[in-house]
């Protein structure tokens, strides 16, 4: 009788292991796989709804307006003279009214008039040239490669 009871306990233990394994698979499905599948479907639906003229933002944070669309790629215009060709999957979302800063108003964050930016950059370039020559970069007069051969 002792061995029969032991056999029943062993069989019951294997059922518990199988039930725990099935529970873990179900948990992973409902917590990881199913939500990811929903996000992927929502992203695909959003990309299919995009038309020419739609304002979008890419996953890398580039804002632009869709000017052409292909089967796999989209051309977005980021400024009047600049376009980018990106994969449709690179589009993160359609831009809503509150997503972009109004950079046309004076004093907005990050706004420096273009002329001031160029003046600042030119002054930095001029001062950098002087500091590089003063720092000793480049060949020194006493580093003559010919003189080391004679020694």
pLDDT in tens, 11-49: 567 889 999 999 999 999 999 999 999 999 999 999 999
Token pair, residue 134, equals 């003063």
Q: 93 has which bridge partners?
A: 57
Residue 73 tokens read as 């790629």
- Listed in sequence order, the residues at least 6 apart from 91 whose beta carbon sits closer than 8 Å to its beta carbon are 46, 47, 50, 56, 57, 58, 59, 74
The residue ranges of every structural domain in the chain are: 1-49, 51-100
Averaged pLDDT of the chain:
77
- Distance separating the N- and C-terminal Cα atoms of the chain: 100
Q: What is the CATH number of domain 51-100?
A: 2.30.30.60
Report the pLDDT value the prediction gives residue 109, as an integer from 0 to 100. Answer: 52
Q: Per-residue pLDDT averaged across 121-147, rounded?
A: 57
Alpha-carbon distances of 79 from 31, 50, 92, 94, rounded to whole Å = 41, 19, 19, 17
Closest-CA residue to 58 (of 42, 76, 71): 76
The DSSP output letter for 33 is: I
Q: What are phi and psi of 39, to 5 degrees?
A: -60, -40
């Amino acid at each position: 009788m002792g061995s029969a009871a032991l056999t029943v306990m062993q069989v019951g233990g294997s059922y518990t292991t199988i039930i725990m394994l099935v529970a873990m698979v179900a948990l992973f499905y409902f917590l990881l796989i199913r939500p990811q599948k929903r996000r992927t479907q929502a992203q695909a639906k959003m990309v299919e709804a995009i038309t020419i003229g739609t304002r979008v933002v890419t996953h890398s944070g580039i804002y632009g307006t869709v000017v052409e669309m292909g089967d796999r790629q989209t051309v977005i215009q980021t400024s009047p003279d600049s376009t980018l060709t990106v994969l449709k999957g690179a589009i993160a979302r359609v831009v809503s009214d509150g997503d972009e800063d109004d950079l046309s108003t004076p004093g907005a964050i990050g706004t420096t008039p273009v002329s001031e930016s160029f003046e600042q950059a030119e002054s930095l370039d001029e001062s950098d040239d002087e500091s590089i020559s003063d720092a000793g970069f480049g060949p020194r007069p006493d580093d003559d490669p010919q003189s080391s051969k004679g020694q």
